[in-house]
Each structure stands twice: as structure tokens, then as C-alpha cells.
Amino acid sequence: MRLKLLLALCLVYASAQAQDESCRLADDNPYLLFGTKTAYTFANRGIPVSRAHDVPGCQPIAIWMLNRHGSHNPEADEFAELQKLVILKNNVMINYSNGNFRNTNFRMCNADLNLLERWEWNPRLNISFAGDLTSDGYMSTQQLAQAWKQRFPGLLTDNVHDYLFKYVNDQRSSNTFKAFTEGLFRAQADNIDISKETDEKLLRPYKYCPSWNADVEENADTLSQQHTFESSQEYKDMLNNISRRLGFNYDIERDVLHSMYQMCRYNKAWQVAQISPWCAVFTKNDLKRLEYLEDLQTYYKYGYGSPKNQEIGCTGVKDMMTFFNTHVDNEKPQQPRAIVHFTEAPMLLLTLQALGARRDAAPLTAAGYHTAPAQSRKWSASAMAPYNANLAAVLYKCTPNSNFQINDPYQVLFLENERPLYLEECRDGLCNWTFVKNRFGLIADNCNLDFCNGGATKINEPVGRRGIEIASGAQKNNS
């Protein structure tokens, strides 16, 4: 009798645990890392504020920055599929009203279900504004500029002649430039005489490289690990469980899963303090698997998984070294003192791999998901390329014998999303100029995109698709 009672209590406890696991509204510690659609505040959460920019005996004399835009509206080719979620939501509500469950442990809790029931497509999400910065994306960019100015007040001054801004030729990047300069100067960019230019081949070289397009972008092998992970039993089980959670007695299509995930992470980036109804569809483990799926794609498409990425990812490094050499080779202060670029997630990822940052000891693979190295992997799009991602290199000039740890008159501090970037042979992101000149100067000297001409398309014409795909059959212009 006591054994039966104990078993009954265990079943009740297990059921309660399953119910709690599926109730997102009550979760005090939700999973908030969504790859390239991670809100900037979530990417930096839990990382202590560092004073790495205070280098004793040294003064910053130049800064080079590479910035990604803030959160944006869905792309034009996403609207139709995302709007279908209205029909899906209605079907889920019907499923729940009809009690279509073989196993009640898969049920969403009532709070999450009510949240989903209240969700509607925002009529202000008009396709004519597809891909544009959201108001949150605009404000977060302003705030980021203000944070940088507070960190380097003697370098990021109110003198507009100290700056050169470069951005890609689209509305999203140009609006990011406007928001950033408003944050710096507390005035609209149109009212200030700022040096600015578009530079597509510097900031989006992959769009003008037929050879890279053929060998990486359009090469089926590039996404083989991603597709292998999607074909795994673990991924199929996840799809099955999510389908049951929605009340379906059959597996939903992968494209539907992709749309729900897109809406989940869009919602959370647009309103960081709100709970996304579509995130309630997923468990924490589901979200971690989907994050890994995108990491498999970015690792081979823009990272260490494809050798040609080393060849095309050098343009940012070359631009940085040219800029710093100008300041090191001249005793007198030079202008501009700050070069600030605005680009896309792929360029951030390509530049980081060109610097040798976030390199894992072994390649990411579909089969390696549950291994310790994969779970603590360095290559993580959530950390490397969230919305408003930034990479900065700050050149310091040092007073001789002012710091016993520094034996080089120039130092370079590398910061990733405002935190020290780990690089071999450097201390908390601070590198001797000799190391920088030897290591990255060699990359800059050998940076030549003539190999791009091997394709059929002229180098002056953009080629191929750009974007980050996180599910088979769904190619998104995420940048």
C-alpha cells in the first residue's frame, strides 16, 4: 500500500515538474540567447563591467569600430509566413478547446495559453517598412553611442572632424548611422557636417565575390552539418514534442517551426521586458538546440568551417591596420581619430575569425551537440553577433617606463561588445603593437580580393544571396 502511495506521489510530482517546465510566464530564468536575433542586453547579461579601457601610463589616441545595426522589422520575404501564425494560433486554440492531447504532460500551462490567445499580428508591421530599424533598435543604438562616449570622453569628442563614418548602402545601416551620431552629438546627423561614405566592398565583400559565392554561399557542403543536425533523431523528437505541445497529432512542418522561432526572437528583441507568446511554445532545451543549429550554419558560412572565409574576412583587418599605421607613423595627432563602420552580422563574424578570435579546438559538428566542448563553445552567434554587436580596437600611446607590464610604446585594446576580447598573446584584450603589427599586419598585407574574379559575375555587381538561414527551406535576409 505504501509503495503504491509513493508511486502515486512520484507521478504527481513528475507531472507537476513537467507542467512547471512548460510554463514560461512563471519562469524567473528564461533562456534568452537567440543567435543573431539576440537582444544586446541579453548577450551581455551576467558579464561584470570592466575597466579594461583604463590603461595606466597610456592614453587612447585612435579608435576603430565595427558595428551591427539594432533590432529590425521582418524582412520582405518573411511577412507571408509569419502572418500565417495567426491561423496556426487559432488552430492551437481549437486543439486545446477540443482536448486534443494524448499526454497531458505536453500541455502548455493556462497562463502561456492565454498569452498566446491574445497575440495578434501587429497591423503596423507593414511590408513597405520591411527590414527597417525598430524604435527599440534606434534607441539602443543611441544609447550604445552614449556609452562609448562616456568610456572614452577624450577620444570621442564633440569635434566632428575627429570622425569618419562608413556604412553599407541600405536604409537599415544609414538609419543606424543616424541613431549613433545622434547619441554622440545630441543632434540629428542631417544638421551636422560629418564625414561619411558608403563602402560596400569593405563592409560587405562577400556580396561582390563570385568565387566565395560559389565555394561557400551556394555550396551545398557549407550547410551539411546544419542539415545533418536537422535530420537527427533528437531534432525530430523536438519537432514531435513541440507539435504535441500545440495539440497536433501529427508533426508540424519545419518551416512552421522556423516561423514560430523567428516570431519568438523578434518579439523578444523588440520588447525585451515583455514575454513573447511564441517563446512559450519552446522549452529551454528546444531553444538551445535551435541556437546550436544557427551556430552550425554561421560557423561554416562565415567562420572557421570554410577556408575561403579567411581570404574574404581580411578587409576589416586591413582597414584597421591602415588606420592605425597612420597614427603610429606620425608624431603629430592625426584626423580622423575615430573610424566607425556600420554593417551586418556576417561581416562581424568574418572579421572575428580573421582576427583568430573565438576559435574552438575542434570544428562544430552536428554529432557533437551534447559534448562538453560544444556546450561551452567559443563560436556563438548569440555572443558574437547579437543586435547592436560591436567590435572595437583602441590604439594607445604610452609613456616610457610608466607601466612595468608594458614594454611597447603603443598598445591596442580589442573589445567585443564592450568587453575585452580574448586573443592569444594578449592580456585581457590588450596587445603590444609589435604583436598587432606582425600578426594582423601580415593579414592586411596579404589581403587581396583578386581571387573573387574567378567567378562568372563581374566584381562590381553584387552576387548571390546574403543572409543567415536557421531552418531548411527557409532562407532569410537576416543581416
* Residue 397 burial (CB count, 10 A): 18
∠ CA 54-440-298, rounded to 5°: 95
- 198 — phi, psi (to 5°)? -95, 145
* Residue 58 burial (CB count, 10 A): 21
- Which is the catalytic residue, given 53, 69, 72, 258? 69
The grid coordinates of residue 156 equal 570621442
**Cα 326 versus chain centre, distance:** 31
Give whole-number Cα distances, 377 to 145, 238, 297, 358, in Å. 29, 22, 14, 8
Contact yes or no for 333/289 (Cβ under 8 A): no
- 392 — phi, psi (to 5°)? -130, 145
Map grid coordinates 574574379 to a residue.
453
Contact yes or no for 75/130 (Cβ under 8 A): yes
Closest by CA position to 194, among listed 395, 343, 340: 340
> ω before 336 within 30° of 0 (cis)?
yes
SS (H, E, C) 372-430: HHHHCCCCCHHHHCCCCCEEEEEEEEECCCCCCCCCCCEEEEEEECCEECCCCCCECCE
Query: In terms of residues, how long is the chain?
Result: 479
Report the b/e string of 237-255 with b at 16+ CB within 10 A. ebbebbbbbbbbeeebebe
The grid coordinates of residue 382 equal 548569440
- 328 — phi, psi (to 5°)? -70, -35
Please confirm, yes or no, whether 69 is among the known catalytic residues.
Answer: yes
CA 301 to CA 469: how far, in whole Å? 10
Long-range Cβ contacts of 434-440 (<8 Å, 24+ apart): 434/408, 436/321, 436/324, 436/412, 437/321, 439/356, 440/317, 440/320, 440/321, 440/355
The grid coordinates of residue 93 equal 486554440
Closest by CA position to 251, among listed 231, 261, 237: 237
Catalytic residues: 69
